[in-house]
């Protein structure tokens, strides 16, 4: 339903999609005639609409012929063609509907935008569980953002696997929701009648559709766009707390979004270790804190009771006890807080793409950070282990996630409700397989349509090439900048270089300073001493008193020249050694190259992307500050583990490797599916040739 301001106009195009439209406007302009008579339905009962007719002369000028007023459900257009006229609706009731009647063929559009009164929308919103606790003012404001659409029988509202950005409410009619399971069978999930809504995860989380929704009969639906709803929540901060969400949706909406997630990746479960484990780890510190508090109390009571007595031994012992108890209490608080921070920083994450474990070690979480993850489609087995009566009593346990080929694993230790997490992982796997089935069916449908329906291909659009003069100017410019840019690129190589699907990483600058720092320091010292010595004014060697200092200066200059040259060679060796090491991921392989200068030693290790089982990122405290760390790639090949040391933004490197692995698997699946589809087409071609009538053998007449 389009919303137009006062005095504005809207142009309607041709085609079935525009055959029937509803508007909330004061003015509307039809520049193209519909396929049938125009039925005008005012939004208020008993209201009338003013219609201005403008006919065009052959010269192209327009003049107003007449203005007429039409009542509810009146039809205009039966008399006279409107291919020569324009219909302008003058200021009229706030809600109106323009509806075209089906033509001679009797075929109507499969969907159309419809108009529902505002008070009916408010009542429908109030009857839906999700919005039932909203205030009347919030419902009225939300109703302004609600649109309506009408579907004919058998029309698909959306398909399973499509991106979700709308929440639908059935106003009239009924819908059927079906789901394709991992085996490819269509299962009816539920039926929706008037007042029921669907699409809560799409509206609140932006997740893809889990079901295919089809209109069983002619139905009018109300829908809310996700962008409009997010704007509504920003304008009404208290409205989100009043929403009656499903428990799983409310839980997922509270989860944070991590920087290493992809754009279409959503958290399903974010867990800490069970709180019982935190309490068990805090018991020693609580015991020390209790003893320290008792010691502080006893020492203070001794000091107060012995203040009137002489002597110094008892007061000194009391002060020493007070000092020891205070230090013990402070230490217990600090280490107990460190245990709590360590417990908070230990996260187990399940998304729709992967399972991950993020861990930070060290005092107050300032130590090393590890991020271990595995793709959800590479998970081979998920096992739950409970040890001890305490685990059964408080319902926690360990979850071991084995990847394909046994090359890696991700472990969730002492998490609450491990069976629920196990079920969530298996559910995401089944969902991924179901979406793969849907994509495969869609590709088969396209192949069949191309074979039987002869779908026309799209013409390729070639980009116009640059004129020869511009190309020559660019070549001259590149030639002028080639030498300085090459020198600059040699001494300052990019740490992250992308060339199509190939990405190359080099070690961070911190690694260069760590390995070549001593050589660089000695080079700077030698060069500074040489420059300062050359800058001083030497004494004349002709004077007898200056002969000895001159020889010393000359020897010192020679030594500094030699030391500068040696340290420069040393630094260049270290720099070239740092520069020659790189890590690379291509469209189908992962590569690690270690090369010494002058090819003294050259080591190149490669593995296929389908052998990658696990990728984890590790960072120290200074790595988090300077944004560098290690990436460990586990494979099931004889090459073993690939260790990318000191790379910039290790989480981004980990994400790129996962993205390349997923793209490689998709390409391999598409190639296999394309091969199977080609075989299927060959079968259909052979069957088609078999069914063709064979020509009768010609017989020569006598």
In whole angstroms, what is the distance from residue 371 CA to residue 637 CA? 22
Q: How far apart are the first and last CA of the chain?
A: 79
* Poorest-pLDDT segment among 143-147, 177-181, 490-494, 512-516: 490-494
Q: Please indicate whether residue 510 or residue 30 has the higher confidence score (pLDDT).
A: 510
| Residue 651, pLDDT score | 82
The tokens describing 397, both together, are: 């346990």
In whole angstroms, what is the distance from residue 422 CA to residue 250 CA? 20
The winner for highest mean pLDDT among 139-153, 627-641, 675-689 is: 139-153
Nearest to 596 by CA among 582, 577, 578, 583: 577
H or E stretch covering 635: strand 628-635
For the sheet with 96-100, list strands across it.
2-3, 21-24, 96-100, 38-42, 74-76
Under DSSP, the state recorded for 611 is G
In whole angstroms, what is the distance from residue 650 CA to residue 632 CA? 10
Nearest to 209 by CA among 167, 150, 170, 245: 167
Radius of gyration, CA atoms only, the chain: 38
In whole angstroms, what is the distance from residue 676 CA to residue 680 CA? 6
Paired with 594 in beta bridges are: 603
User: Tens digits of per-residue pLDDT, 40-80?
Assistant: 444 433 444 445 444 444 444 444 444 444 443 344 443 33
Q: How many CB atoms lie within 10 A of CB 77?
A: 18
Under DSSP, the state recorded for 452 is I
Paired with 198 in beta bridges are: 168
In whole angstroms, what is the distance from residue 151 CA to residue 215 CA? 7
Cβ neighbours for 368, distance < 8 A, ≥ 6 positions apart? 360, 361, 362, 618, 619, 620, 621
Global pTM reads 0.61
| Residue 26, pLDDT score | 36
User: CB of 240 within 8 A of CB of 131?
Assistant: no
| Residue 273, pLDDT score | 92
Q: Is 244 a residue whose pLDDT tops 90? A: yes
Phi and psi of 508, rounded to 5°? -65, 160
| Residue 240, pLDDT score | 92
| Residue 620, pLDDT score | 81
User: Tens digits of per-residue pLDDT, 87-118?
Assistant: 444 333 333 333 332 222 233 344 455 567 88
| Helix/strand/coil for 268 | strand
Phi and psi of 155, rounded to 5°? -80, 140
In whole angstroms, what is the distance from residue 394 CA to residue 282 CA? 17
* Poorest-pLDDT segment among 210-219, 356-365, 598-607, 648-657: 356-365
**DSSP secondary structure string for all residues of 61-102:** -EEEEEEEEE-TTEEE-SSS-SSSEEEEE-S--S-EEEEEPP
User: Tens digits of per-residue pLDDT, 582-595?
Assistant: 899 998 888 998 88
Paired with 379 in beta bridges are: 403
Tell me the average pLDDT across 371-394.
Answer: 86
User: CB of 319 within 8 A of CB of 282?
Assistant: no
| Residue 349, pLDDT score | 93
User: CB of 614 within 8 A of CB of 373?
Assistant: yes
User: CB of 169 within 8 A of CB of 221?
Assistant: yes
Cβ neighbours for 112, distance < 8 A, ≥ 6 positions apart? 19, 20, 21, 22, 99, 149, 150
User: Tens digits of per-residue pLDDT, 609-628?
Assistant: 888 877 888 888 788 788 88
The winner for highest mean pLDDT among 7-21, 248-262, 305-319, 665-679 is: 248-262
């Amino acid at each position: 339903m389009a919303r137009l301001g006062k005095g504005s106009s809207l142009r309607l195009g041709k085609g079935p999609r525009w055959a029937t439209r509803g508007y909330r406007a004061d003015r509307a302009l039809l520049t193209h005639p519909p396929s049938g008579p125009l039925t005008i339905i005012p939004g208020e009962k008993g209201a009338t609409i003013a219609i201005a007719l403008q006919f065009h002369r052959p010269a192209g000028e327009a003049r107003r012929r007449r203005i007429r007023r039409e009542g509810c459900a009146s039809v205009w257009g039966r008399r006279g063609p409107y291919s020569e006229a324009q219909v302008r609706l003058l200021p009229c009731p706030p809600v109106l509907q323009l509806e075209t009647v089906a033509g001679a063929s009797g075929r109507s559009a499969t969907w159309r935008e419809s108009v529902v009164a505002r008070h009916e929308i408010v009542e429908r919103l109030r009857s839906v569980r999700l919005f039932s606790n909203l205030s009347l003012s919030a419902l009225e404001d939300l109703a302004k953002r609600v649109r309506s659409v009408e579907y004919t029988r058998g029309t698909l509202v959306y398909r399973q696997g499509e991106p979700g950005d709308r929440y639908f409410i059935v106003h009239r009619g009924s819908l059927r929701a079906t789901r394709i399971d991992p085996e490819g069978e269509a299962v009816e999930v539920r039926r929706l009648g008037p007042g029921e809504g669907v699409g809560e995860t799409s509206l609140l989380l932006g997740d893809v559709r889990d079901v295919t929704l089809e209109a069983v009969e002619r139905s009018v639906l109300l829908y809310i766009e996700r962008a409009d709803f997010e704007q509504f929540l920003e304008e009404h901060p208290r409205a989100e707390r009043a929403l009656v969400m499903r428990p799983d949706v409310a839980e997922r909406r509270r989860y944070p979004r991590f920087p290493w997630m992809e754009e279409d990746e959503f958290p399903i479960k974010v867990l800490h270790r069970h709180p019982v484990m935190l309490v068990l780890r805090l018991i020693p510190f609580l015991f020390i804190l209790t003893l320290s508090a008792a010691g502080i109390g006893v020492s203070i009571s001794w000091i107060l009771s012995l203040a009137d007595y002489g002597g110094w031994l008892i007061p000194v012992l009391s002060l020493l006890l007070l000092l020891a108890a205070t230090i013990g209490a402070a230490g217990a608080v600090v280490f107990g807080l460190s245990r709590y921070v360590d417990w908070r920083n230990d996260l187990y994450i399940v998304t729709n793409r992967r399972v991950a474990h993020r861990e930070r070690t060290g005092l107050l979480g300032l130590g090393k950070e590890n991020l271990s993850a595995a793709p959800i489609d590479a998970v081979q087995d998920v096992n739950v282990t409970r040890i001890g009566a305490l685990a059964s009593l408080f319902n926690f346990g360990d979850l071991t996630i084995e990847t394909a080929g046994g090359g890696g694993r991700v472990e969730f230790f002492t998490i609450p409700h491990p069976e629920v997490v196990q079920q969530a992982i298996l559910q995401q796997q089944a969902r991924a397989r179901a979406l793969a089935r849907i994509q495969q069916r869609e590709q088969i449908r396209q192949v069949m349509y191309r074979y039987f329906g002869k779908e026309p291909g799209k013409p390729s659009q070639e980009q116009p090439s640059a004129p020869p003069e511009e190309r020559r100017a660019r070549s001259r410019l590149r030639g002028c900048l080639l030498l300085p840019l090459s020198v600059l690129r040699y001494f300052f190589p990019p740490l992250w270089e992308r060339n199509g699907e190939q990405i190359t990483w080099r070690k961070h600058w911190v690694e260069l300073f760590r390995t070549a720092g001593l050589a660089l320091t000695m080079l700077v010292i030698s060069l500074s001493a040489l420059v300062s010595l050359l800058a001083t004014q030497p004494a004349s060697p002709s004077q007898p008193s200056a002969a000895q200092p001159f020889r010393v200066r000359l020897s010192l200059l020679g030594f500094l020249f030699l030391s500068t040259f040696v340290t420069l060679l040393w630094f260049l060796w270290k720099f070239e050694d740092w520069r020659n090491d790189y890590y690379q991921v291509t469209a189908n392989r992962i590569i690690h190259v270690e090369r010494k200068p002058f090819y003294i030693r050259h080591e190149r290790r490669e593995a296929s992307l389908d052998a990658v089982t696990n990728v984890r990122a590790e960072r120290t405290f200074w790595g988090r500050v300077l944004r560098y760390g290690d990436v460990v790639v586990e494979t099931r090949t004889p090459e073993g583990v690939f260790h990318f040391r000191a790379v910039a933004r290790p989480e981004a490197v980990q994400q790129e490797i996962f993205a390349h692995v997923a793209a490689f698997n998709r390409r391999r699946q598409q190639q296999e599916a394309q091969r199977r589809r080609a075989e299927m087409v060959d079968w259909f071609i052979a069957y088609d040739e078999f069914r063709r009538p064979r020509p009768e053998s010609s017989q020569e007449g006598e």
